[in-house]
Amino acid sequence: MPRPDQVNPHQKPWPDFEDWFKDQPETAAALSGEIAKLRDEIAALRSDLAPVPSLIVTGRQAIDEFKRLTNAQQN
C-alpha cells in the first residue's frame, strides 16, 4: 500500500483549470455551481449516514444489563 507522501513517478501533474476556462466564464460559473450542488449533496449524505444512538446493546454491555434487570426483579 502506498504511503500518503509517496508520489507516482508516472503521474502527470494536475492541469491548471483556470487556463481551461479563462475564455469561457459562463462555463466556469456553471461548473462552479455544479460543484457547489455536489458538495451540498455530499454533506447531506454524510449527515444521513452518521451513526445514531441505538437502544440495542451487545456484548458485555448486554450481559451487564441483563444481570442488572434480573437482580432488580428478584429484589
pLDDT 10s digits, 7-65: 777 877 776 767 777 777 788 788 888 999 999 999 999 888 877 667 787 888 888 88
All 3 cell numbers of residue 21?
A: 476556462
pLDDT recorded at residue 49: 84
CB atoms within 10 A of CB 12: 6
Decide: pTM greater than 0.75: no
Average pLDDT over residues 64-74: 82
Residue 70 CA, distance from chain mean position: 41
Q: Residue 66's closest CA among 57, 75, 42? A: 57
